[in-house]
Amino acid sequence: MDSDYQRSVSSRASRRPERNNQHHQTKDADAEGGFFSPGRLSQDFPMKIIWKMGFIRLILIGGILWMLLILTVLLFHVWSCQSSSAFFSGCPIPLAGDPDKIAIPKRTPDTVVQHLSYILEDEAGNNGSQSPPLFGGHQSWSQREESFKPKSTMKVHCGFIRGGGAEMAPEDIKYVEKCRFVVASGIFDGYDIPHQPTSVSPRSRKLFCFLMVVDEISIDFIKTNVTVRKDNDGGQWVGIWRLVLLKHPPYDEPRRNGKVPKILTHRLFPQAQYSIWIDGKMELLVDPLLVLERYLWRGKHTFAIAQHKHHRSIYEEADSNKRRKRYARPLIDLHMKIYRYEGMEPWSPKKNTMCRREPSSYGSIQQIFLQNADVPEGAIIIREHTAINNLFSCLWFNEVNLFTPRDQLSFGYMVYRLGGLFKFFMFPNCEYNSIFELYPHTREHSSKIEWVKSLDEFKGKNSGLKESRGGLGLWMPYPGNLDSVVLPPVARTSKAG
């Protein structure tokens, strides 16, 4: 046993020098031919240079390809007559330089319609009906059809039926009587707070009234979030905006209430000669006088609105509204079936398209868009309050009152029904995105009716889902057979749309 132990110790002791010798040999070898030794450096250095040069070339080629891609996109953006989206922050607007040098032209004479008046009493109430007055009135199908035939003298439904709601306070009525040039906006159901316009010149501050139309819920919400000051006449102000309160909202649906100041601006502010509508969630970035010069006076237009970013046909827009749950899907389909029955064709490049080039007063050639889509971006509307424009606004609003509150579905239809008598300037969407800064709503809009998938869901205990004061045309017996109407197929043109 002892002898075995001694042999083991002796064996380990004899191996130690061998290991030490191997360790020293390895260190010597590293010292003589290591990585930084002349021998190895002479072999690896050319490979490192080649590798570094290849990597640099790869970076340079990638950068050149990226710049070529950006340049190609920019050139296509400039070349395209119907560019549907803004590149980064939009495209440059050919604005006049100085608001002080803009000459305000004479008013456009009324030719097609010379005398336009409005129905102020609800016929249903006058006939002994128990139905209360409606803001939009009880318009019959025959009255609707007759209103589509412009004449020299006309009397039409145009909201503001007595007893139907949307009353202004006396101090606001008195204030707006002096307004000839108006920038109007609206906030309903507390979805936004006012955003102050930027780049407003001293001349425009004196010339324009900035009027923010609100309901009672919104004015309370605004007072808790921003400073509201009162003047000596009882007017309420947030910065440059004069708050105009509409008491007793005429509709159950806040989105439908918002169409009153948006479309019927000429009825709320009857002395206004020109108006610029901008949605409440937006901040105007361009001087309003420059807006009028660019979109109305320069091309001798009286109504201007932007082309929709994604859609050309109202049937595309309707499909998008259903996918995004913007209103009850079966009611959107019924709305579109009525328009299809009445002859509304899907938009195509050959339909009502006028895209021509005109010399600009600033020496360049401008592309003038008159109608390159049936669907607008309705968040900005620029108009002179001529009789034909006022008629168009009334008829457009009547469609919103009768059917769904999605006004973009009705715009192109009204253009079609007026048969070319209503002329307007539809400007590129990229300019639209350069006019304003868009802010998110303070909260998401939600309504039970938006989730309805079939007409059966309106029956029985869910009958309260029906709006009681708007959209009644979708529930009235229609004087035509819609059973055989087939809606045009729709191809989704954009994931965002």
Query: Model confidence over 311-337: pLDDT tens digits?
Result: 999 999 999 999 988 999 999 999 999
Q: Are 201 and 289 in contact (CB under 8 A)?
A: yes
Higher pLDDT, 296 or 66: 296
26-42 confidence digits (pLDDT tens): 444 444 444 444 454 45
Structure tokens at 243: 């708050």
Bridge partners of 229? 237
Residue 40 vs residues 22, 46, 70, 220: alpha-carbon distances, Å: 22, 11, 46, 81
| pLDDT, position 48 | 65
Higher pLDDT, 85 or 67: 67
- The number of residues making up the chain comes to 497
For the full predicted model, state whether its pTM sits above 0.85. no
Q: State the amino acid at position 409 in one-letter form.
A: L
CA dist., res. 147 & res. 156, Å (int):
6
Q: Report whether pLDDT(114) > 60.
A: yes
Structure tokens at 18: 């061998």
Q: Are 346 and 315 in contact (CB under 8 A)?
A: yes
CA dist., res. 464 & res. 254, Å (int):
16
Residue 355 vs residues 90, 246, 248, 309, 413: alpha-carbon distances, Å: 20, 40, 44, 17, 20
Residue for token digits 């029985």?
A: 460
Burial class of residue 110 (count of CB atoms within 10 Å of its CB; 0-12, 13-18, 19+): middle
Q: Are 388 and 421 in contact (CB under 8 A)?
A: yes
Residue 481 vs residues 334, 414, 473, 478: alpha-carbon distances, Å: 12, 21, 15, 8
DSSP letter assigned to residue 310: S
Q: Report whether pLDDT(81) > 50.
A: no
Q: Report whether pLDDT(350) > 80.
A: no
Residue 316 vs residues 230, 320, 322, 395: alpha-carbon distances, Å: 46, 6, 10, 22
Higher pLDDT, 433 or 351: 433
CA dist., res. 102 & res. 117, Å (int):
33
